[in-house]
Amino acid sequence: MQKLDYMSPNAVSTAHNRIKYLTNKTPLLQSETLNNALNTNVYFKFEGAQKIGAFKARGALNALLHLKEKNILPTEVVAYSSGNHAQGVAWAAKQLEIKATIIVPSSASPIKIAATKAYGAEVIITKERQEAEDLAHEKAKSAFLLPPYDHDDVIAGQGTAALEAWTDEGMFDAVFAPCGGGGLISGTYLATRLFSDTSKVYACEPQIANDAAESYRTGVIKRFQKTPMTLADGTRTLGISERTFQYIKQLNGFYEISEEEIIYWTQWLTHLLKVNIEPTSALGIAGAFKYINEGNQNEKILIILSGGNVDPITHTKIWEKSHLECFPKIIPF
What tens digit of pLDDT does each residue of 271-308 get? Answer: 999 999 999 999 999 999 999 999 999 999 999 999 99
Q: Do 312 and 211 share a structural domain? A: yes
List pLDDT tens digits, range 10-68.
Answer: 999 999 999 999 999 999 999 999 999 999 999 999 999 999 999 999 999 999 999 99
* 147 close to 115: Cβ distance less than 8 angstroms: no
State CA 9 to chain mean position distance: 18
pLDDT for 43: 98
Q: Do 145 and 234 share a structural domain? A: no
pLDDT at 74 over 60: yes
Q: Do 26 and 169 share a structural domain? A: yes
List pLDDT tens digits, range 198-237.
Answer: 999 999 999 999 999 999 999 999 999 888 999 998 898 8
* 128 close to 227: Cβ distance less than 8 angstroms: yes
Q: Do 185 and 284 share a structural domain? A: yes
Q: Do 194 and 296 share a structural domain? A: yes
pLDDT at 333 over 80: no
We report the CATH number of the domain holding residue 139 as 3.40.50.1100
pLDDT for 192: 98
* 199 close to 175: Cβ distance less than 8 angstroms: yes
Q: Do 239 and 96 share a structural domain? A: no
Structural domain for 47, as ranges:
10-54+153-326
Query: Has residue 333 been placed in a domain?
Result: no
Query: Has residue 18 been placed in a domain?
Result: yes
Query: Has residue 4 been placed in a domain?
Result: no
Q: Do 111 and 245 share a structural domain? A: no
Query: Has residue 289 been placed in a domain?
Result: yes
By the 10 Å C-beta count (0-12 exposed, 13-18 middle, 19+ buried), 320 is classed as exposed
What mean pLDDT is reported for the chain?
A: 93
In the listed set 103, 135, 150, which residue is the last one of a domain according to the structure?
Answer: 150
Q: Do 267 and 132 share a structural domain? A: no
Q: Work out whether strand 76-80 and strand 144-145 pair parallel, antiparallel, or are unpaired.
A: parallel
Q: Do 80 and 130 share a structural domain? A: yes
Torsion of CA 131, 134, 139, 141, to 10 degrees: -170
Q: How many Å apart are CA 119 and CA 40, to the nearest integer?
A: 40
List pLDDT tens digits, range 159-201.
Answer: 999 999 999 998 999 999 999 999 999 999 999 999 999 999 9
Query: Has residue 85 been placed in a domain?
Result: yes
pLDDT for 286: 97
Coil, helix or strand at residue 206: strand
Query: Has residue 125 been placed in a domain?
Result: yes
CA separation (Å) from 313 to 5, 85, 262, 320?
Answer: 41, 20, 15, 11
Element housing 46 (H / E)? strand 41-46
In the listed set 135, 150, 165, which residue is the last one of a domain according to the structure?
Answer: 150
pLDDT for 2: 53
Please tell me which residue, 325 or 150, carries the higher pLDDT value: 150
* 86 close to 129: Cβ distance less than 8 angstroms: no
Q: Do 109 and 47 share a structural domain? A: no
Total domains, the chain: 2
* 37 close to 331: Cβ distance less than 8 angstroms: yes
pLDDT for 330: 52
Q: Do 274 and 194 share a structural domain? A: yes
In the listed set 102, 132, 150, which residue is the last one of a domain according to the structure?
Answer: 150
Residue 328 — pLDDT band, cuts 50, 70, 90?
very low
Query: Has residue 332 been placed in a domain?
Result: no
Query: Has residue 1 been placed in a domain?
Result: no
pLDDT for 1: 44
Q: Do 261 and 138 share a structural domain? A: no
